[in-house]
Amino acid sequence: MTKFTSLLAATGLIATLGSVGTPAQAHHAFAAEFDANKPIELRGTITRLQWTNPHSWIHIAVTDEDGDVTNWAVEFGAPYSLLQKGLRRTDFELGTEVVVNGFLAKSGEPVLNASNVTLPDGRDFLTAAEDSPGAGN
Amino acid sequence: MTTLHSHGAISTPSRFGVLAIGLALLITTGAKADASDIPRTAEGRPDFSGIWQTLSAADSGLEPHGARKDAPPAPGIVTGGLIPYQDWALEKRNQNFAQRASADPALQCFTPGTPRGIYYPEPFQILQRPTDLTLLFQHSYRARTIHTNGSVHPEGGIGFWFGDSRASWEGDTLVVDVVDFNDQTWLDSAGNFHGNNLHVVERWSFIDENTLQYEATLEDPDVYTRPWDISVILHRHREPGFQLIEHTCYTLEYDDYYPYPSQESQ
Amino acid sequence: MNARIHRTEFAWAIGLLLITPTQLWAQNSWREPTVYRVAEADWNGAVLANGQPDVQGHWSNTVGNHNNMVDPQGNFPYDDNNEPQAPRPNRENRAPSRLVAPADGEFPFQPWARALQQEFAAHLFNAFEPQYVEPLARCAPGGPTKSLMWHGFEIRQDANHVLFLFDSGTRVIHLDDKPVLHGNISLWNGDSRGHWEGNTLVVTVANHNAKSRFGRTGEFVSENATLEERFIFESSGNRFLYQGTYTDPTVLTAPITFEIPVRRITAESELDGWNNITFPVNFADSGRAPEIEAYERTCAENNANHGAESAVAAH
């Protein structure tokens, strides 16, 4: 287990920037958890899926140039919004590689709010949750 | 006739055993209602509308079990007694059982799903229209739709908490086909579980105007060695003015902070 | 700090004329710049077997989301860096405040309540106290009014019930005369009793816990609030207007009335993944006319450890 995943397990929370006291949750408000000034692209192997409302999650193992593996949690929009675009849970097979573009968590933990995903077969989908940049809400 | 039990023993039921099973079936299934007793819709179908709840202890454990600290003894509702788990699944069920006080998803207020919502120890309400039945469960206050409009399942790969339910009528019995589940619900509070490939076929019928017979066949090739059956009786709530009470238990953790913490008012 | 919102009489006059949706210029056809209002009248539309108006089906509001009832198509008062920002310009070109009473469209808060609301808004993006988290973000039910401001929803009816299926929860309006629950029990979506007057479903909401608040901007009433609602349905079957009046001397200096315009979702409606999250019904008989259905509505994310931890750390 990498230091990131053990940190995630230990804290169990997405902390917000500059927080004092107990960090709290604010799903649906992109700016509470993610930084629109920090876009990145990740390529990784799918290790786990959580297909819940209002956010779907995929967990991907990303290997850096030193060969170290970090497990990232990648947040998508609601399953039905993805389904309306033609994207199903079964499109994400464990062990396959995907590319995601998105925005980093403010906390610095390996959590990403994805704006799009590219599947192994080359299909590309917009995945942003409701009020993320580019979601068009 | 031999029976392969999930824990590896092979036994041949005695004649007494067959008789006992037959009696048990008779007691749990009961007789069907006279066709004229059944409440009916304008289209002549049995009308299941109303608020229902089982007296069965099924949720404490689908299999027969002795007394536990968290449950009284109960005879179980599985035809033949035990759920035919694959070996790995039996181990996982036993792990679930050991962790049930924290791991049971119903304790975190996840909706009980199908079939557990039907025999969960809280009432549920059926609202029936020609095109569908809405089942509103007091626990989690979420609704399941059973479609009776001639529609069939969507393409799949969605993974529902309740599964996707499409039904047809066989005389006065509603036969419901349920597929496309997620694996997040348990079948009871004793750790019995299923996988994503669960398939449930339900049969709903009246025993009398205030009593329903609910039967279901469950199969999941990833978890069980064969299909297996359960059966419960549901009773109509007839207390004057009875209604479901919104039970969104997961809000209890943070209730006190809304609309504002009490010390904030003037 | 909060910029005053300018609304002209001209904008109100536009709003009161029944301008057709083809005159929209908003980029999303579910966001109409004017409010489509429906008048109370007799009902001449489809009926249930017992003669009640048949208003079943899929619906969504045409004015905005749960950001800000006072400026439903404006920006949030804080930017992504949690700095205060002025409202988007040209206020008169977009939908007016959803408060139609008081006349200025602002919440008539007592000073302590206004201060608290502003504190909530200032901390939405920096929610280090539990009360700063908008409850809808925790999957809490949206409450009788705000439920109409988050995603499309469905109405189902039988002789004694009007059932609302929201993504944020479920609400039953009872049409019979059974007594409401005892005051010891208070509920996110309240305990509702309603009756039809022509095209209007008139509802009294009891046992309302008021915990759902009105939006991300943090406005609220207390559990002492009374709530009376009128759902005014157009006989065409395509529109209805929600009116909700709250009276709460604990928090407010005057009663408030919300109006929310709502439009039917049909098989021809634009799929936008937010208002219209319906799917085509799969019929065995391919000759059937197209129909839409919604899939099961859940909000399960915050059930992990009773909402105290994120979905990332669950299981």
Q: What residues of chain C, 128 to 147, have a C-beta less than 8 Å from chain B?
A: 129-131, 133, 135, 138-141
Q: CB contact, 8 Å: A79 with chain B?
A: yes
Whether A40 contacts chain C with CB within 8 A:
no
Q: What is the per-residue pLDDT for C270?
A: 87
The answer to whether B156 contacts A83, with C-beta atoms less than 8 Å apart, is no
- Chain B interface disruption, residue of A13, A22, A25, A52, most B CBs within 10 A: A52
Give domain A33-126's CATH architecture.
Answer: Beta Barrel (2.40)
In chain A, residues with a C-beta closer than 8 Å to the C-beta of C312 are 8, 12, 14, 57, 73, 111
pLDDT at residue A21, as a whole number: 30
Is C273's CB within 8 Å of A23's CB? no
Which residues does residue B260 pair with via DSSP β-bridges, in sequence order? none
- DSSP labels for B128-184? E-SSEEEEEETBTT-EEEEE-SSB---SS---BSS-EEEEEEETTEEEEEEE-B-S-
SS3 C174: strand
Q: Do A16 and C134 touch (CB under 8 A)?
A: no
Q: Are C128 and A80 an interchain contact pair (Cβ–Cβ within 8 Å)?
A: no
Annotate C212-248 with b (16+ C-beta within 10 A) or e (fewer).
Answer: bbbbbbbbbbbeebebebbbbbbbebbbbbbbbbbeb
The structure tokens listed for B223 are 């978890």
CA distances from C157 to A34, B46, C53, C183, C241 (A): 41, 18, 10, 27, 18
Any idea where the domains of chain B sit in the sequence?
42-252
Per-residue pLDDT, B139: 97
Give the number of other Cβ atoms within 10 Å of residue C39's Cβ.
10
> B102 to chain C: which residues are within 8 Å by CB?
none
- What stretches in chain B show pLDDT beneath 70? 1-31, 264-266
C265: exposed, middle or buried (Cβ count in 10 Å: 0-12, 13-18, 19+):
buried
| Identity of the residue in A17, A27, A77 whose CB atom sits nearest the CB atom of C137 | A27
At A4-60, the pLDDT tens digits run 433 333 333 333 333 333 333 434 577 778 888 889 999 999 999 888 888 888 999
What is the per-residue pLDDT across B64-100, written as a single tens digit (0 to 9) for each? 999 999 999 999 999 999 999 999 999 999 999 999 9
- For C275-300, how does the pLDDT look when each residue is reduced to its tens digit (9 = 90+)? 999 999 999 888 999 999 999 998 88
Mean pLDDT is lowest, of A20-34, A96-110, C150-164, for A20-34
- Give the highest mean pLDDT range of A108-122, C181-195, C266-280: C181-195
How much is the pLDDT for C7?
43
Chain A residue with minimum CA distance to B157: A90
B182 touches A: beta carbon within 8 Å: yes
Is the minimum CB–CB distance between A94 and chain B shorter than 8 Å?
no
Do residues A43 and A109 make contact, with C-beta atoms less than 8 angstroms apart?
no
Q: What is the CA radius of gyration of chain B?
A: 20
Which class is domain B42-252? Answer: mainly beta
- Rounded to whole angstroms, the Cα distance separating A46 from B222 reads 21
Any bridge partners for residue B216, and if so which? Answer: B202, B230
The shortest CB-CB distance from B142 to any of C170, C209, C250 is to C170
**Can you tell me the ipTM of this complex?**
0.88
Spell out the domain ranges in chain A.
33-126
DSSP annotation of A30: H
For residue B262, the model assigns a pLDDT of: 86
* Interface contact A51-B156, CB threshold 8 A: no
Mean pLDDT of A116-124: 93
Domain extents in chain C: 9-307
Q: Classify burial at A116, counting beta carbons within 10 Å of its beta carbon; exposed 0-12, middle 13-18, buried 19 or more.
A: middle
Residue among C305, C311, C313 minimizing CB distance to A55: C311
Between chain B and chain C, how many beta carbons pairs sit less than 8 Å apart?
149
Instruction: Tell me the nearest-neighbour CA distance from B3 into chain C, angstroms.
Output: 36
Q: What is the pLDDT of residues C163-214, one digit of tens each?
A: 999 999 999 999 999 999 999 999 999 999 999 999 999 999 999 999 999 9
pLDDT-based confidence at residue A131 (cuts at 50, 70, 90): low
Chain B positions touching A21 (Cβ under 8 A) are none
Model confidence pLDDT, tens digit, residues C15-29: 444 444 444 444 468
Determine the residue of chain B that is closest to C113 in CA distance: B265
B158 touches chain A (CB under 8 A): yes
Q: Work out the mean pLDDT of chain A and round it to a whole number.
A: 77
What is the predicted pLDDT for the residue at C251? 98
User: Across the A/C interface, how many CB contacts are shorter than 8 Å?
Assistant: 120
User: Measured between CA atoms, how close is C135 to chain A, in angstroms?
Assistant: 9
Q: How far apart are CA C288 and CA C282, in angstroms?
A: 10
Q: For residue B254, what is the nearest residue in chain A, using CA coordinates?
A: A24
Minimal-distance CA residue of chain A relative to B155: A88
Nearest one of A94, A59, A96 to A76, comparing CA atoms? A59
Q: Do B159 and A89 touch (CB under 8 A)?
A: yes
pTM assigned to the model: 0.87
| C238 closest CA partner among C110, C3, C87, C55 | C55
The whole-angstrom separation of Cα A91 and Cα B43 is 42
User: Distance (Å, rounded) from C-alpha A30 to C-alpha A34?
Assistant: 6
Residue with the two structure tokens 């991300």: C216
Q: Indicate the pLDDT class of residue C241, thresholds 50, 70 and 90.
A: very high
Please tell me which of the candidates C174, C284, C306 has its beta carbon nearest to residue B152.
C284
List residues bridging with A112 in a β-sheet.
Answer: A74, A104
Question: Residue A110 — very low, low, confident or very high, per pLDDT cuts 50/70/90?
Answer: very high
In angstroms, what CA-CA distances link B237 with B124, B210, B240, C203? 10, 8, 9, 25
> Where does residue B246 fall: left (phi above 0), alpha (psi -120 to 50 degrees), or beta otherwise?
beta
Could you tell me the pLDDT band of residue C306, with boundaries at 50, 70 and 90? Answer: very low
For residue C166, the SS3 value is strand
CA distances A13 to A70, B251, C81, C148, C301, Å, are 17, 18, 20, 30, 13
Picking from C241, A79, C130, the residue whose alpha carbon sits closest to that of residue B258 is: C130
Q: Is A114 helix (H, G, I), strand (E, B) or coil?
A: strand
